[in-house]
Every structure is written in C-alpha cells, then in structure tokens.
Amino acid sequence: MAFISSGYNPDKPMEDRITDIGPRHYSEFLPPVIKNNKGKWLWHEILEPGVLMHKAESGDEVYTVRCGSPRLMGTETLREALEIADKHCDGYLRFTTRNNIEFMVDSKDKVQPLKDDLQSRKHEGGSYKFPVGGTGAGLTNIVHTQGWIHCHTPASDASGTVKVVMDELFEEFQQMRFPAQLRISMACCLNMCGAVHCSDIAILGYHRKPPIIDHKEVENLCEIPLAVAACPTAAIRPAKTTITDDRTGEEKTVKTVAIKNERCMFCGNCYTMCPALPLTDAEGDGLVIMAGGKVSNRISEPKFSKVVVAFIPNETPRWPSLAKCMRQLVDAYVKGAKKYERFGDWAERIGWERFFEVTGLEFTHHLIDDFRDPAYYTWRQTTNFKF
C-alpha cells in the first residue's frame, strides 16, 4: 500500500489551497424535465405505491419511482443505483430526506421497465436492494442515526433495529392502506442527531445506569468544572479520592468527581464533556418507544412524541420484543384511526387511557413526566376521563 499524493503538500498546506467554496449548485444536477418546469408544477398523483406523477403547466409530466435504501450503503450498491439511473433516467437520480432513492423519467412508458428492474435486484441473502414503495398513506423509510457502526455514545444499534422493524412491517412499505402516512424514526441516544422527537413512532436508545467513574483518568481527560456544569440535574460534584498508581504501586490522592445516583437521568451529557465517565452497559442500555408526534401543520399542530414504552432490552441480533411492540402499535392504529388521522391525533381523540387499553401496552410510573416545569402540563387537571 504505497501512499499516493493527491497533490497536497503537507509542508505548505496553504499552497493552492481552495476553501469555502460550498456545495455544488443544485441546478447542475436537475434532470431536464425538472429544470424546465421548476416552479411551474400544477398537481401530482400517486399512481401506485412508490410511483408519483407530477404535472406541469407546460403539459410535461415527470414520473418518479421511489425505493428504499439502507442508509448505510457501500459504493458497490451506490454504483448499482447509478447504473440504473444511466440505463433508465439519462444519468439523474435524487435522494429523499428519509433516505429513499428516487428515479425520475419523463414518460409513462418508461415506468414499468424501471420498476421491474428495481424490484428484480436482490442481495444474496434474499433482501431487496431497491424495494419500490414509501409513498402516501403507508410506511416509508425509517430515518436513523449511526448506532454501533460509528457513534461513541449509542445505547443501541441503529441499522439493526431499523432492519428488524422494516422487515416486520415491510408489506406496508409497498402498500397504502394506513389512515395516514406513518413516520418512524430511530435515534441511538438522546442527542438525537436524527431529531426523532416528533415522529409518529420513535425508537430511542437509552442508558439506565449512571456513569462509571474512571478515577484514574478524570483528572487527565477532563476539565472537572465542565463535567460538573454539564449535568442538568446537578448530580455531579467535584471530589477527591485515593487510587493506587499502576506503575509505582503507591497510594495517591487525585481529583475526581462524585455522582449522586438518585439524581442521574442517564442523559450522557457528562460523558460528552468528560470521556472518563462512560455509561454504556449491556444490561442497562436498551430502547425507549415514543409515539404520537408529527412535524406537519396539517389539521393539527406539530407535536412531540410521548413515551409509551419505558424500556425494551437490546435483544441482538433481531430485537424480537421491539418488533412485537411495533406490530402492536401499528395494528391498533390501523384498526382504530379514521381516514387522514395521524397516529398522535388518533391517540388524542380516543384518549391516552384508551390508547394503552387498545395497544395492550402496560402503563407504568416511568411514563409520567417528572422532568422540570413542563411535567405539570402533562398531568390530568380535570375529572373528564374514560373508564
């Protein structure tokens, strides 16, 4: 493996340096039918699951075939998507915010061959490479974070949990028989780089044990005042302790921190500030399920997802309890909701007391908010409730 230079000269980093040029302008990448009709679209229609048609004032039509992708994709699969785009779409494609791939063609007769091509491609293990679907009142792709693949604070894996849930609900990706669209999201810790807190159903990795204090390292790795300040519940204070030096065997007093366990809410913010306070733990870590959030302003205001299951263990590799829980939630929603009713609107209409009954989920003390002022607004201040 010989090192091959790009032309960059490490001795003169500023030589020929190009910076602050930003992204490529999107107009370079728009297919002609899109470019010609930008800002002049009239209406659209979903012709079948995964296939959209947009009509322009000019009379032009663009047909979009949407398919799922695992967010984690190697260049081999990506190149295969590019081949498909070259073959059917004159070398253009796009990706959606929810990690779907969209292939666009400018006439209806090009749709079926494209769709057949996408549906025919499978991995050796049997999974689709590019399953067509993800439109309308159905299930679309799950947005998710890195998990054990690349993150340093996860309480679960993202790719694995998503694969399991999408397998469990796969036919709904290729159907449109839900009352409204269902948006599922997954974040492997509450930093939520995927901002899953306003999803119809959110899967969230969570720790349940306070940090382990690496007394030998706190002073070396951390600014103790920052670690103390990082704690939202003031559970961390500066402390001193005696340790045995690994090399000399001598006892010595070192600066460290002490943690009031009963105050810890396991957010991991201290670990972000101080690497000597790891939280990850096989038994402690797992998943929280939240439901009933949305970002759209349609009919009702955007709203947060609510915690409906306090804990599901990390049952690798296929998380059966998670899959079962998702099935329970989806089945109850599909059975009970009215046309156009999002998951959260349905839960609010029937009332959360009824929600736990029809989903078969257990209501435990963990589900009552006790974090700061907003908690009060979630308690019931009325005698109006259902038996």
Partner 1 sequence: MPKHETPLLDQLESGAWPSFVADLKRQAGSRQQKQNEIEFQIPVDVVDDLLGLLELSYVEKEVHWKHGGIVGVFGYGGGVIGRYCDQPEKFPGVAHFHTMRVNQPAGKYYKTDYLRQLCDLWDFRGSGLTNMHGSTGDIVLLGTTTPQLEEIFYELTHKMDQDLGGSGSNLRTPAACLGESRCEWACYDTQELCYQMTMEYQDELHRPAFPYKFKFKFDGCPNGCVASIARADMSFIGTWRDDIRIDQEAVAAYVGGEIKPNGGAHAGKDWGPFDIQKEVIDLCPTKCMWMEGGKLNINDRECTRCMHCINVMPRALRIGNDRGLSILCGAKAPILDGAQLGSLLVPFMKVDESYDGVKEVIENIWDWWMEEGKNRERLGETMKRQGFQKLLEVTGIDPDPRHVSEPRHNPYIFWKEEEVPGGFERDINDYRSRHPK
Residues 184-203, interacting with partner 1 (CB under 8 A): 187, 190-198
Regarding 322 and contact with partner 1 (CB under 8 A), the answer is no
Within 5-44, the residues that bind partner 1 by CB under 8 A are 5-8, 10, 13-14, 16-26, 28-31, 34, 38-39, 41-44
Is residue 140 involved in binding partner 1 (CB under 8 A)? no
Round to whole Å and give the CA distance between 228 and 237: 6
Near partner 1 by CB under 8 A, which window of 112-120, 256-264, 294-302, 351-359?
Answer: 294-302
DSSP letters of 108-124? GGGHHHHHHHHHH-B-T
- What are residue 251's DSSP bridge partners? 244
Interaction of residue 297 with partner 1, rule CB under 8 A: yes
**Per-residue interface string for the shown chain with partner 1, residues 344-373, x marking contact by CB under 8 A:** ---------------------------xx-
Q: Rounded distance, CA 172 to CA 165, Å?
A: 11
Is residue 54 part of the contact set for partner 1 (CB under 8 A)? Answer: yes
Which residue, 125 or 249, has its beta carbon nearer to partner 1?
125
Closest CA to 178 of 138, 132, 140, 136: 138
- Is residue 249 within the footprint of partner 1 (CB under 8 A)? no
Cβ proximity to partner 1: between 152 and 366 the closer is 152
With respect to partner 1, which residue has the nearer C-beta, 9 or 244? 9
Cα 37 from chain centre: 33
Cis previous bond, 317, omega within 30: yes
**Alpha-carbon distances, residue 315 vs 78, 286, 322, 323 (angstroms):** 30, 9, 8, 11
Name the CA dihedral angle for 27, 33, 39, 40, rounded to a multiple of 10 degrees. 160
Nearer to partner 1 by Cβ, of 215 and 357: the residue is 215
Q: Which of residues 141-170 bind partner 1 (CB under 8 A)?
A: 143-145, 148-154, 157, 159-160, 163-164, 166-167, 170
State which residue, 235 or 285, has the beta carbon closest to partner 1.
285
Rounded CA separation 319/169 (Å): 14
